[in-house]
Amino acid sequence: MMTIVKSIKNISELHAMLGYEKPKHPLVSFVDLTQVNTETQTEEVFFAMDFYAIVSKSFEGTLKYGRSTYDFQEGSLIFTTPGQVMSSSPDLKITEGWALYFHPDLLYGTDLAKRIKEYSFFHYEANEALHISDEENEILKTCVQNIQREYRQNTDPHTQELIVDSIQLMLNYSKRFYQRQFITRKKVNSGIIERFESLLREYINEKCLIESGLPSVTYFADQLNLSPTYLTDVLKNQTEKKLSGTHSHCACGQSQNNAFRHFQVCK
């Protein structure tokens, strides 16, 4: 059976699909996910939105995100980019959560339009979500409330700038929270690094470098069942403390005193 993906072009279409009230602003909206109408859904629905989303929720049921089935935990936060395919099942029951949606057009002419690619967590897989504390969730909700306050008022020359500034503040906080998670999930990340180094040594020992050169980060990410972006960020955050010890040489002549730095040089 062929999977049909519903394309959602704008905020108004999203609200209609969710059975939610009409949006107050055409390019940005906050949605209380506990108020979403899912009673009429009888089968799994696949959809892709033409805008960004920051979603915080806990629920009962199944939600797929990209290639993975998402295992939401209380306080989990995900970020999606335009075109990201998601799906939900009829048994999905949201117990708590909110979402902020914003269209790329909102960012036009702003500093964030140039910088949004720097927020790499928009390209993580579902199992690499940010697990936020209650306090962190309240910080983000304060930013959302500022955004709501702006788009509910009459638009003036400062509206776009103030909304975008609040979105960027949310993203900066999220970046900080991810840095914290890289530290607190030390055991998990150490396992990733050990497996990465093992794959790298195995590749070198099999003399694949001479024949094919060093593979891309995508090769290692696929082997580790991670997104390339998340693997890169884990390695960057752990390089100084965790990636050391091997002194092999590859075809490029670089010593592997640090596996990740070697990978960065040779790739």
Its pTM surpasses 0.75:
no
Which residues lie below 8 Å from residue 214, measured CB to CB, with a gap of 6+?
A: 203, 250, 263, 266, 267
Residues 257 and 146 in one domain: no
Q: What is the pLDDT along the chain (267 residues), one digit of tens a residue?
A: 556 788 999 999 999 888 888 999 999 999 988 787 655 555 777 888 999 999 887 654 455 544 455 444 445 788 999 998 877 666 555 567 889 999 999 999 999 999 999 999 998 876 688 888 889 989 999 999 999 999 999 889 999 999 999 999 999 999 999 888 877 666 566 677 778 888 877 777 776 666 666 777 888 888 888 888 888 888 887 765 543 444 333 333 333 334 445 454 344
Residues 20 and 139 in one domain: yes
Angle, in degrees to the nearest 10, between helices 159-184 and 186-205: 80
Of 135, 159, 184, the position where a domain reaches its end is 184
- Looking only at the bridges linking them, the beta strands covering 52-60 and 85-88 are unpaired
Q: What is the pLDDT of residue 211?
A: 67
Q: How far, in Å, are 178, 194, 247 from residue 92 at the CA level?
A: 27, 37, 51
Distance CA 112, CA 110 (A): 5
**CATH number, position 151:** 2.60.120
CB atoms within 10 A of CB 68: 14
Of 134, 150, 184, the position where a domain reaches its end is 184
- Looking only at the bridges linking them, the beta strands covering 85-88 and 63-65 are antiparallel
Residues 34 and 164 in one domain: yes
Q: What is the pLDDT of residue 40?
A: 57
Residues 260 and 206 in one domain: yes
Q: What is the pLDDT of residue 50?
A: 95
Residues 111 and 178 in one domain: yes
Q: What is the pLDDT of residue 173?
A: 96
Residues 177 and 191 in one domain: no
**Spatial contact of 161 and 147, defined as CB atoms under 8 Å apart:** no
Residues 74 and 162 in one domain: yes
Residues 10 and 129 in one domain: yes
* Containing structural domain, residue 126: 5-184
Structure tokens at 2: 């062929």
Residues 122 and 241 in one domain: no
Residues 53 and 180 in one domain: yes
